[in-house]
Amino acid sequence: MAQLNFDGRVAIVTGAGGGLGKEYARLLAARGAKVLVNDLGGNFMGDGADAGYAAAAAEEIRSQGGIAEANVLSVASAEGAQGIVQDALDRWGRVDVLVNNAGIVSGAGSLDEITDEQWQRDMAVSASGTFFMCRAVWSLMNATQNYGRIVNIASGSWFGMGSGVPYPAAKGAVWAMTRALASATRATGRDVKANALMPIASSRMTALMGEEIHAIMDRDFPPRAVAPVVAMLAHEQAPCNGEMFTAGGGGYTRVFAGVTRGYRATDKDWTPETAMAQFDAVMDTEGFSIPAGSMDESAMYTSDVPWDAFRAFIK
């Protein structure tokens, strides 16, 4: 297979001042992309700001022969997101790749201990930040360029993370956004693809778990081992749209939400007892389906509803 290069492409990677984001930026630059390294420079809980992280990462990429510039605006506001995109446009005239990696984890602990501020901060960066960045490039990629690749960084916390709620909720929103964006581009036929990735890697968070655990994570799940999947999804030959993957330790796998065959009756006056009696059948995952969108899932029920009219209405 020919090498996947990014010559002539422009990429924005948010949260790229260190860790996973820096590895994504480094690989894209090494393969020929011009990369805007965005990072506000706060800690993983969202506190503080330090322009040195983005500057150092961009300098490191340049020292390795790549093209990179630093940007320190925050993704957590519409103005910040638009400013990030405008910076790339002012420097290089286009944006071909957007990797939404910026995220924080401020809301830890049991639900009754999480503050309003913790909830809002997690949502502001991981969920709203992804939304603001995608919106800032949407018209450019769809109407102007008819080309773009969006890689949204989600998280395995989506499956559940102990008692934590804000971070998994924000990352679940990222997954839902990715599906919605892909559905929109499939409807228009534009050459714009959006996919999501749940990385498994050592990070500033694993460092807090102690030197021993962090060393094992760094050995078995180094950030660089996730970057190849990001590059694949960011490439013009990206083989999918609207998919989610998990990657770490040198491999990757598909993650999906499916619908079982379930119990689909024509009786609209059925009872809770019937629901209980059919529970095992509803839980059986054999013969599951993966709907392309919400209308496809609804159409699996027996009815005469013209679902195509709904599809046309929500385009």
pLDDT of the residue at 308: 61
Q: Residue 307: which pLDDT band, with cuts at 50, 70 and 90?
A: very low
pLDDT at 15 over 90: yes
Helix axes 52-63, 19-30, angle to 10 degrees: 30
CA distance 67 to 55: 13
For residues 207-218, average pLDDT? 73
Average pLDDT rounded to a whole number, residues 237-244: 96
Give the whole-number percent of the chain exceeding pLDDT 70: 86
| pLDDT of 315 | 55
Ordered alpha helix ranges (H), 50-203:
52-63, 78-92, 116-122, 128-139, 166-188
Ranked by mean pLDDT, which of 82-91, 178-187, 292-301 comes out on top? 82-91
The residues of the chain that CATH labels 3.40.50.720 are 10-255
Least confident of 82-91, 116-125, 267-276, 300-309: 300-309
Per-residue confidence (pLDDT) for residue 25, from 0 to 100: 98
pTM: 0.89
Fold classified for 10-255: Rossmann fold (3.40.50)
pLDDT at residue 70 is higher than 90: yes
Positions marked active-site? 167
Contact 227, 200 (CB under 8 A): no
Contacts of 166 (CB under 8 A, 6+ apart): 106, 107, 114, 118, 119, 121, 122, 123
pLDDT digits (tens, 9 = 90+) for 154-189: 988 878 776 578 888 899 999 999 999 999 998 888
Band (pLDDT 50/70/90 cuts) for residue 147 is very high
For residue 194, what pLDDT is reported?
A: 98
Q: What pLDDT is stored for residue 184 in this prediction? A: 92
Q: Are 132 and 78 in contact (CB under 8 A)?
A: yes
**DSSP three-state, residue 36:** strand
**What pLDDT does residue 313 have?**
46
